[in-house]
Structure 1
Amino acid sequence: MNLMKHLSESIEEYLETIYRLIESGRTASTTEISRTMNIAPASVTQMLKKLDSEGYVKYSPYRGAVLTERGYRVARRMTRKHRILERFLHDILRIKREKIHRQACEMEHSLSDDAERALCHLLNVPGECPDKNPIPACDFKFSTCEECLEMKDADIEEIGCRDEKLRSLREMDEEETGRVSFIRGDYRVVRRLMDMGITIGVPLKVIKKAPLNGPVEVEVRSSRVALGRDIADNVFIDTEEE
């Protein structure tokens, strides 16, 4: 069962491509999208105009596209499914590294939310794909992975989707604030964060981000703590509450 409205594979691929380009620090220009997807620029322009009219992107000629909140949610969801599938293909099925990306692309569009959740449990809630790219948080209404595991037999329809738009600490900008809404990992991760004063619902502020994959310094409960990538990628913030 999928909780979100089913879209065409083409639309999902475009939104996912735009997400990944922006994630990697590139501009989602017509040229970049065309090169990445190996599609003619004219066809890309036509699709971007369609996505703009349907509320998934904001498109500006010669500048490219920016995801709207609606498009962002779809793109993150598809990126999550893709990277979980890459982990499954790599870790469980032992598919050759050079083949897993294409295979995951073919499988992600038909992967149900129930299957996604089951794979996440099977893989012990992975935080990154084999290429070390972060896996976005799930959309289900849990504040920790422990809650999800405790309700592993619950139906997706019963659980429902969260309303807030979450970003990991590493995705936030310096001086940006928000509240901790989801922590990924087992009880050891949760305990480690609790010892730092980072718990569900606590407000925090990003003070400084080191270049590339360096630590993120945050202010929480009147103290400053530095979090490495392994933790910062797994603490998700609702920035819309502040």
Structure 2
Amino acid sequence: MEFYMARRSLRHAVATTTSLVLIAAGVTVGLGASVAQAAPACALNQSVTDSWAGSLGTPYTVSKEVVGDGKVAAGQTVTYITKVSGSGALVNQIRDFHPAGFQLVKARLNVKWLIGDQKWDDVTKTVVVGNNSVVAKGGGWTTAGGGVIALETTYKVPDNAVVGTQLDSGAGTNIVLAAGDWNINPMGVCVTIRQPNPVEAGAGSLEDMGFGSLNSGSGQVFGSLTDPQGSMTNVISGVLGNVLGNMS
């Protein structure tokens, strides 16, 4: 597993007796100066706990999980939840690193402010979308009192994703402490591309015929059924036009 820790290298972390624990598939592995840590096997969730000189030896944890069974068809959506927790310091960034080609559909943030309760907020329009990453930024969310900062991200999988492929992802955060900027990418949190089920395959076939997307409910023809200005004649003409056009 390769860890990218901005302003804080793994060598420095080991030299300062940093404790790094990787929990993968229920197995805890300690990382020491003489241990070469291989990339973890793909799993539905992973968790990394670290303490360093800047945290005064107190631990902080970054975890990530795939919602559901981790299997998704090309063109469908998948959701991840990334969490940061620890020993009381503020967090001003939480990051999700997604597989190449994934397109953000929705992002929600659940944080603990110094004053107020935790709740989910839609942050789709305010997150920073970068190179295979989505970053939520804030003035500072506390980890005191068991506070957990959580970022939920939902993506559309590319239409050309290959069945059977396992796609890895990562996570990161910025803890407001010396050397608290921390990325773990890849992390071993994977989704597997599966065959589309009959409903998904059928929806794709209808879209190819020009009937619009069943997911959006705004197809070129079916949308006319809910248009008070439309007429059944226009609907029938539209259906025949689409069918005959695709037969030619």
**Which is richer in strand?**
2
- TM-score, normalised relative to structure 1: 0.28
Report the structure, 1 or 2, having the larger helix content. Answer: 1
Structure number with the bigger relative contact order (C-alpha 8 A, sep ≥ 6) is 2
Q: Give me the TM-score of the superposition, normalised by structure 2.
A: 0.28
